[in-house]
């Protein structure tokens, strides 16, 4: 099947493309003056208050939307401001609770392990505050509970926290 060669349709499409580009060029080059697009800023009163990260600050910016609508051609009309429905609750100065002091794990050391010949289980040698003892999994020694026994490290629980301690 051969393409249809119609000279009238080709000339009509060329004229339509030229008209569209002519409208675009006219709108870009011969638009209204730039004086209409200057932002109208109100005088801002600066109040220096101490910094408080928990107080919600009022926005200090305003969008400048007074430019010409490119599709309709008219200028932007500012809608009426929205009125608040209720009153805003006063800001509460909330201080977070202090963090608990970090746990000092330096008093717990893992000295090594011994294999129990009877039941083939690992028995760890733990030093807590200078006291040494052989402990199996689940045992508690001076508040330190041995949770997991491995050859190179142990998992202990102390003061509600868990940590791996290496040999």
pLDDT value of residue 103 = 80
CATH 2.30.30.830 fits 108-166, yes or no: yes
pLDDT value of residue 19 = 97
Alpha-carbon distances, residue 151 vs 34, 112, 154 (angstroms): 78, 8, 8
pLDDT value of residue 84 = 57
Report the chain's C-alpha Rg in angstroms: 39
Which of 150, 141, 147 is CA-nearest to residue 122?
Answer: 150
DSSP-assigned letters across all residues of 37-96 = G---PPPPPP------TTSPPPP-------SBPTTT-SBP-PPPPPPPSSPPPPPP-PPP
Residue count of the chain: 167
Rounded CA-CA distance 167/108 in Å is 11
Total-model pTM: 0.41
Q: In DSSP terms, which residues pair with 161 in a beta bridge?
A: 158
With a pLDDT cut of 70, the percent of the chain lying above it is 74
> Which region among 23-37, 64-78, 81-95, 122-136 has the lowest average model confidence (pLDDT)?
81-95
The contacts of residue 128 (CB under 8 Å, 6+ apart) are 107, 108, 109, 141, 142, 143, 144
Structure tokens at 139: 């045992």
């Amino acid at each position: 099947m051969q393409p249809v060669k119609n000279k009238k349709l080709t000339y009509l499409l060329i004229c339509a493309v030229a008209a569209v580009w002519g409208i675009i060029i006219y709108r870009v080059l011969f638009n209204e003056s730039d004086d209409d697009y200057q932002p109208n800023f109100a005088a801002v009163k600066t109040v220096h208050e101490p910094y408080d990260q928990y107080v919600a600050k009022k926005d200090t910016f305003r969008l400048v939307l007074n430019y010409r609508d490119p599709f309709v051609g008219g200028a932007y009309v500012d809608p009426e401001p929205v009125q608040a429905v209720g009153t805003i609750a006063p800001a509460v100065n909330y201080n977070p609770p202090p963090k608990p002091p970090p746990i000092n794990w330096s008093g717990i050391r893992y000295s090594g392990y011994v294999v129990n010949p009877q039941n083939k289980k690992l028995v760890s040698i733990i030093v807590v505050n200078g006291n040494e003892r052989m402990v199996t999994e689940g045992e508690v020694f001076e508040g330190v509970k041995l949770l997991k026994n491995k050859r190179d490290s142990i998992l202990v629980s102390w003061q509600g926290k868990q940590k791996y301690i290496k040999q």
